[in-house]
Amino acid sequence: MADIFDVIVVGGGVVGCAVVWEMTSRGYRCLLLEKNENLISEASSGNSGMLHTGFDAPADSLELQCITYTFPRMFDVLQGFGLVYDKIGATMVAWTQEQASKLPLIAQRSKTAGISPTRELSVSELYSREPRLSRHAQGALWIPEETVVDPWLTAISFAHDARRKGAVIETDALVQNICKTDDQRVDVMTSRGQFTGNVVINCGGLYGDIVDKLAGLQHFSIAPKKGQYAIYPKKVKHLINSSILPIPTEKGKGEIIFKTVYGNVIIGPTFEESASRRRPESDSNTIQRLMRYGDSCVRGLGECPIVNTYTGLRPATETKDYWINSYPESCWITIGGIRSTGLSGSLGIADKVRNLIVNQHGLEPSRTKRTDLERIAIKFVPPSHAMLDDVTYTITHPITLSGIETRLDSQL
Ligand SMILES: Cc1cc2nc3c(=O)[nH]c(=O)nc-3n(C[C@H](O)[C@H](O)[C@H](O)COP(=O)(O)OP(=O)(O)OC[C@H]3O[C@@H](n4cnc5c(N)ncnc54)[C@H](O)[C@@H]3O)c2cc1C
């Protein structure tokens, strides 16, 4: 008889990797199926690499619950695996009086959410912390816990540790069809053959609605939102001391000027409609506008040429919140619409999946649990690979790629 997996995860973005890691650690026999040649190749390879505190997540949302769960636990994971991070903090700057009037409400919301002890800064305090900021600021909010991580390394480490603990990971495996069997299991047909599992978890991100349709489900549709970024070299890292945030709007956190864990300064992301689910090219008008914006906020930034640009697509749906639902009769769980905070909410999402598997699907693990956090031996192999222990992975995220690139910096 063919192998039967306890859990089959469709999609190797940060969400699928976190889910397969959590379920494998808890003793479930897991299979991860990813359609691309490399894991972390879609939405998860075009983000800002920030571990957000949820300062702008709507109260009572699933998103806030998942962020609140993830935030304290992620540091144990990062330290356990030996991954880089920097709790650099964020400074939300009001450039007009109208924006400044919104700061107390944002501070109050963040306090209610309970993660980050935000504090309003006077203008003079702002300039003593961020002396290179343009001189027309009207007020600011300090969000001390905002953290930057390596978004590729964090996500790939979940998959790698799951693999170390016995998970099977198949790439180039496009899930094409599914079929419920008579004995309450699911056959999953892929471009690499058929697999059978007790529960399928749809972590299809930008394609989540298409994957759901294979199970006859149609509760949301993905309308991707594009983000563009401009990357500066590490030599300008002294220009900012924290991530510089604008006042958030209905569309999200806005365009941020931030420093990666490797020291590159980045401006972005934009928030634009996208007609396609395929990663778009950046357009020079938008990049020029981002650079002008950066120059108008941080003195000296405009004097330095950028070294690269990149784009990402958010798996947005018609609603703002996450879509996490379980369909025991179909042996199916859907994780959809993880739009802007998938990295920051990843452990909370994975924990919700575990609860659904236990409480709604009644599925017990078939193996012994292994929740230990063992250090990963990481060696970058420029220009585009990394070895984690003895496994070589292709790096897919521009933050990591720019971070390990030294040639461009030394040329400038
Ligand atoms: C511009 C931008 C900035 C962001 N900034 C941040 C940030 O700073 N912090 C933060 O926490 N979040 C941020 N996010 C959000 C975060 O990146 C997303 O929430 C997250 O990447 C979603 O992950 P996912 O695994 O759901 O989707 P994806 O990364 O899209 O992964 C889904 C995977 O499923 C695979 N797949 C789909 N269909 C199939 C199929 N039929 N068969 C097999 N495989 C399939 C895909 O190939 C893909 O690899 C940002 C996003 C963007 C775009």
CA of 338 to the centre of ligand 1 (A): 7
Mean pLDDT of 373-392: 97
Residues above pLDDT 70, as percent of the chain: 98
Average pLDDT (360-364) is: 97
Helices (H) then strands (E): counts for the chain: 11, 23
Q: Which residues line ligand 1 (CB under 6 A)?
A: 10-16, 33-36, 41-44, 46-50, 52, 174-175, 203-207, 211, 227, 269, 312-315, 338-344
At residue 405 the predicted structure's pLDDT band, cuts being 50, 70 and 90, is confident
Pairing relationship of beta strands 225-232 and 272-273 according to DSSP bridges: antiparallel
Cα-based angle 39, 42, 48 (whole degrees, multiple of 5):
105
What is the reported pLDDT for 92?
A: 98
Calpha distance 354→22 (Å, rounded): 8
Asked whether the predicted pLDDT for residue 116 surpasses 80, the reply is no
CA separation (Å) from 90 to 42, 58, 163, 164, 242? 26, 19, 35, 35, 5
Is a pLDDT exceeding 60 seen at residue 261? yes
Pick the CATH number of 4-49+151-221+318-367+376-404 from 1.20.1260.10, 3.50.50.60, 3.30.530.20, 2.60.40.420: 3.50.50.60
Q: Whose CA is nearest to atom 14 of ligand 1?
A: 340
Query: Residue 303's pLDDT is what?
Result: 95
Q: 412 pLDDT band (50/70/90 cuts)? A: very low
Which of residues 411 and 27 earns the better pLDDT score? 27
Q: In angstroms, what is the span from residue 195 Cα to ligand 1's centroid?
A: 24
Q: In sequence order, which residues have a C-beta less than 8 Å from that of residue 101 and are 6 or more positions away?
A: none
- Closest residue by Cα to atom 33, ligand 1, is 11
- The protein residue with its alpha carbon nearest to ligand 1, atom 18, reads 342
Q: For 117-152, how does the pLDDT look when each residue is reduced to its tens digit (9 = 90+)?
A: 899 999 999 999 999 999 999 999 999 999 999 999
Q: Compute, in angstroms, the gap from residue 345 CA to the centroid of ligand 1.
A: 12
Is the pLDDT reported for residue 340 higher than 70?
yes
Ligand 1: which atom is nearest the Cα of residue 227? 1
The pairing of beta strand 90-94 with beta strand 85-86: unpaired
CB 336 within 8 A of CB 322: yes
| Fold assignment, 84-146+223-314 | D-Amino Acid Oxidase; Chain A, domain 2 (3.30.9)
CA distance 269 to 308: 14
Return the ligand 1 atom nearest residue 173 CA: 43
**For residue 290, what pLDDT is reported?**
98
Q: State in Å: Cα 412 to ligand 1 middle.
A: 33
* pLDDT recorded at residue 275: 93
Delimit the domains of the chain by residue range: 4-49+151-221+318-367+376-404, 84-146+223-314
Spacing, Cα 59 to ligand 1 middle (Å): 23
Confidence at 407, pLDDT banded by 50, 70, 90: low
In this prediction, residues 324-342 reach a mean pLDDT of 97
**Residue nearest atom 16 in ligand 1 by C-alpha distance:** 342
**What is the C-alpha separation between 231 and 400, in angstroms, rounded?**
12
Cα 306 to ligand 1 centroid, rounded to whole Å? 26
Q: Is the pLDDT of residue 55 over 90?
A: no
- The residue type found at 127 is Y
Q: How far apart, in whole angstroms, are the C-alpha atoms of residue 296 and residue 242?
A: 17
**What percent of the chain clears pLDDT 90, i.e. is strictly above it?**
92
Instruction: Look at residue 336 and tell me whether its pLDDT is greater than 70.
Output: yes
